[in-house]
Amino acid sequence: MSTLDTARAWLAQDPDPVTREELTGLIAQAEAGDAAALESAFAGRLEFGTAGLRGELGAGSARMNRVSVAQAAAGLASFLLRRGAHPSVVIGYDGRVNSDVFARDTAEIMAGAGVRALLLPGPAPTPVTAFAVRDLDVSAGVMVTASHNPPRDNGFKVYLGDADQGSQIVAPVDAEIAAEIELMASRYTFDDLPKGTFEQLGDDVRERYVSATAALGQPGASSRVVYTAMHGVGWLTTRDAVAAAGFEPLIPVAEQRDPDGAFPTVAFPNPEEPGALDLAMATADREHAELIIANDPDADRLSVCVPVEGGWQQLTGNEVGLIFGWDAAKRLGTGTLACSIVSSPGLEAIAKHFGLEFQATLTGFKWVSRVDGLVYGYEEALGYLVNPETVRDKDGISALLRILSIHGALRAEGRTLLDLLDEIATTVGAYASGQVSVRVTDLARIPATMAALRATPPTELAGVAVTAADDLNLPEHGSIGNILRFTMADGSRVMVRPSGTEPKVKVYIDSVDATGDQDAARALVSAYAEAMRPLVA
């Protein structure tokens, strides 16, 4: 079937007037001789992987739209029905464009297939949906979100209950669901899929999440803390959890407090992106705050800024990750600390110091959350799991309560988070981390960059010899994934991989100074970052 024929068949089943109009225009354009945009819209199927679906809104099989979501819902329903009797699913959604529509379609289609479908009552953070899978003891969960992706993106994220305990899907389940999606898409149009009656949940699930999360809070010395929800869904649940835990109310960034799928004040709604926290810093200056805390739009990530001379310093994901690791080790005294292999080696040093177990996992929080005996896990991309008995995914709201607790305890002692980082460095060594992140518009650049580095790995960086260049995708290195690791003569580590959720090539750099000299470790990171930048740009 030609692309034009495929597009016409898609148009005939598309229930969304917005994407119908878009596709009608693309077809007319192709019929007039310019088929490039239509070819792009139908350049294969939006891939269903371990992050579920995630992509740009628009018409066609390669985009996020009501047809592609309906096919995913039908495929997931078929998978669950094959997996066991009387399956059930809870569905949540964030404040992005069409999230509510996609969630309702999912609920109706899964109910029509014979799966008991429960829909959360309104936009809510991803951690609430992850919590609901365990709280309601359902077979699966779907969260309609694109997390911190660009404004025009949306996604369909899947959790599994039962033996998976509410964790994200992993291989080979992702491929099994993808096969069911293909099968459903080949057999049924949108209108052919039976629609059923779903159960509309009340706010009690979110209230139970708030109660469970508030138990993590330990208020100390009070302080003025600015909070931004980044135009996402974090504010109401965060506000309630903070109040239930007994902390002073947060000061919201008014312009970014409420859900807005247009994300009008940020180019990319990701706290890691340059400029994303400018309004939060301006608010903190005006309010004379002692701390800034940011969630990403679905509130599964957390970023922290501390005051320094002349402004604000955003702590890296690894710095916050080590603070939480130190806190968990001291507070709990037993269990396993875990992080992904691209996160700081400093967590292993903390685990050894306190006599805890440690495990490095594959990249992706779906692996961190599955570690046996886990008491704390993190990934450097601002993802932290401080309450694995409640949620089996990164959770920016529970992490917020712990950072408030740590900050309050330090403030009562006349110390700061930076002082705690100094203490950690003095005790286990100064671990510094940095990152080079290159966003692309031409997706072909990503495999080309990885192929070039495989073919000709660097022999030195910043004047320091590369003592080992390992392709972690090879069996001799465990077939860990599409990751290249360069080990430096001074013990530093440089790793390169494509992002799993964004069109980026990412370089992770970790250095350590055994004497605890953080400036020396940071200088090494900066030097390696500058050396790597032209190799991936």
- Quickly state the pLDDT bin for 441 (edges 50, 70, 90): confident
Tell me: the pLDDT tens digits for 471-505? 999 988 878 889 999 999 998 999 999 987 778 99
Cα four-point dihedral sign 423, 424, 427, 433: negative
Q: What is the mean pLDDT of residues 309-320?
A: 96
Q: What is the mean pLDDT of the chain?
A: 96
Backbone angles phi, psi at 313, to 5 degrees: -115, 120
The residue to which tokens 């939480």 are assigned: 324
Active site residue 222: no
User: Rounded to the nearest 10 degrees, how much is the dihedral formed by the CA atoms of 144, 148, 150, 156?
Assistant: -20
Does residue 229 sit in the same domain as residue 374?
yes
Does residue 403 sit in the same domain as residue 326?
yes
Does residue 247 sit in the same domain as residue 396?
yes
Residue 254 to residue 440: CA distance in whole angstroms: 32
CATH number at residue 449: 3.30.310.50
Does residue 418 sit in the same domain as residue 436?
no
Tell me: the pLDDT tens digits for 39-84? 999 999 998 887 799 999 999 999 999 999 999 999 999 999 999 9
Tell me: the pLDDT tens digits for 137-147? 999 999 999 99
Q: Supply the pLDDT for residue 50.
A: 74
End position of a domain, from candidates 427, 444, 465: 427
Does residue 285 sit in the same domain as residue 348?
yes
Tokens of 208: 């139970």
Q: b/e string for 4-37 if b means 16 or more Cβ within 10 A?
A: beebeebbebbebeebbebbeebbeebeeeebeb
Cα four-point dihedral sign 480, 483, 486, 492: negative
Instruction: Please tell me whether residue 27 adopts helix, strand or coil conformation.
Output: helix
Q: Which contacts qualify for 26-34: CB closer than 8 Å, 24 or more apart? A: 26/59, 26/60, 30/3, 30/4, 31/4
Q: Supply the pLDDT for residue 108.
A: 98
Tell me: the pLDDT tens digits for 215-251? 999 999 999 999 999 999 999 999 999 999 999 999 9
Q: Supply the pLDDT for residue 336.
A: 98
The residue to which tokens 């080590």 are assigned: 322
Q: Is the residue at 319 inside a domain?
A: yes
Does residue 437 sit in the same domain as residue 526?
yes
| Lateral strand order in the sheet of 291-295 | 251-252, 225-228, 291-295, 302-308, 311-314
Q: Is the residue at 363 inside a domain?
A: yes
Residue 304 to residue 527: CA distance in whole angstroms: 25
Residue 114 to residue 102: CA distance in whole angstroms: 18
As for how many domains the chain has, the answer is 3
**Which residues are CB-contacts of 364 (< 8 A; sequence separation ≥ 6)?**
50, 51, 168, 340, 379, 500
Q: Supply the pLDDT for residue 363.
A: 87
**Burial of 476 from C-beta contacts in 10 A (0-12 / 13-18 / 19+):** exposed
Q: Supply the pLDDT for residue 58.
A: 98
Backbone angles phi, psi at 156, to 5 degrees: -140, 100
Contact between residue 79 and residue 142 where contact means Cβ atoms under 8 Å apart: no
Q: What is the mean pLDDT of residues 360-365?
A: 91
Tell me: the pLDDT tens digits for 269-290? 999 999 999 999 999 999 999 9
- Quickly state the pLDDT bin for 1 (edges 50, 70, 90): confident
Q: Is the residue at 255 inside a domain?
A: yes
Instruction: Please tell me whether residue 486 adopts helix, strand or coil conformation.
Output: strand
CATH number at residue 155: 3.40.120.10
Q: Is the residue at 330 inside a domain?
A: yes
Q: Supply the range of the domain harboring residue 107.
A: 41-202
Contact between residue 130 and residue 141 where contact means Cβ atoms under 8 Å apart: yes
Contact between residue 277 and residue 303 where contact means Cβ atoms under 8 Å apart: yes
Q: Supply the pLDDT for residue 447.
A: 94
Residue 377 to residue 352: CA distance in whole angstroms: 15
The residue to which tokens 């964030």 are assigned: 94
Contact between residue 327 and residue 406 where contact means Cβ atoms under 8 Å apart: yes
**Which residues are CB-contacts of 71 (< 8 A; sequence separation ≥ 6)?**
181, 184, 185
End position of a domain, from candidates 427, 458, 483: 427
Q: Is the residue at 21 inside a domain?
A: no
End position of a domain, from candidates 407, 427, 447: 427
Residue 95 to residue 258: CA distance in whole angstroms: 9
Does residue 316 sit in the same domain as residue 385?
yes
Q: What is the mean pLDDT of residues 8-32?
A: 97
Helix (H) or strand (E) holding 226: strand 225-228
Q: Supply the pLDDT for residue 503.
A: 87
Does residue 312 sit in the same domain as residue 368?
yes
**Which residues are CB-contacts of 230 (< 8 A; sequence separation ≥ 6)?**
148, 256, 263, 266, 269, 270, 271, 276, 294, 295, 296, 297
Cα separations (Å) of 260 from 149, 229, 280, 478?
A: 14, 10, 17, 43
Catalytic: which of 147, 405, 492, 511? 147
Does residue 238 sit in the same domain as residue 349?
yes
Task: Write the single-letter amino acid at 349.
Answer: A
Does residue 246 sit in the same domain as residue 395?
yes
Q: Supply the pLDDT for residue 49.
A: 82
Q: Supply the pLDDT for residue 392.
A: 96
Tell me: the pLDDT tens digits for 372-419? 999 999 999 999 999 999 999 999 999 999 999 999 999 999 999 999
Tokens of 124: 């809510």
Does residue 340 sit in the same domain as residue 422?
yes
Strand 88-93 versus strand 374-379 pairing type:
unpaired
Which of 70, 85, 137 shows the shortest CA–CA distance to 115? Answer: 85
Q: Is the residue at 23 inside a domain?
A: no
HSE, CB side, 13 Å, CA atoms: give it for residue 425. Answer: 23
Q: Supply the pLDDT for residue 476.
A: 86
The residue to which tokens 């109401």 are assigned: 236
pLDDT > 90: what percent of the chain?
93
Q: Is the residue at 161 inside a domain?
A: yes
- Quickly state the pLDDT bin for 537 (edges 50, 70, 90): confident
Tell me: the pLDDT tens digits for 249-260? 999 999 999 999
pLDDT > 70: what percent of the chain?
100
Tell me: the pLDDT tens digits for 89-145? 999 999 999 999 999 999 999 999 999 999 999 999 999 999 999 999 999 999 999
Residue 423 to residue 16: CA distance in whole angstroms: 56
Does residue 488 sit in the same domain as residue 402?
no
Q: Supply the pLDDT for residue 20.
A: 97
Residue 259 to residue 520: CA distance in whole angstroms: 42
Q: Is the residue at 366 inside a domain?
A: yes
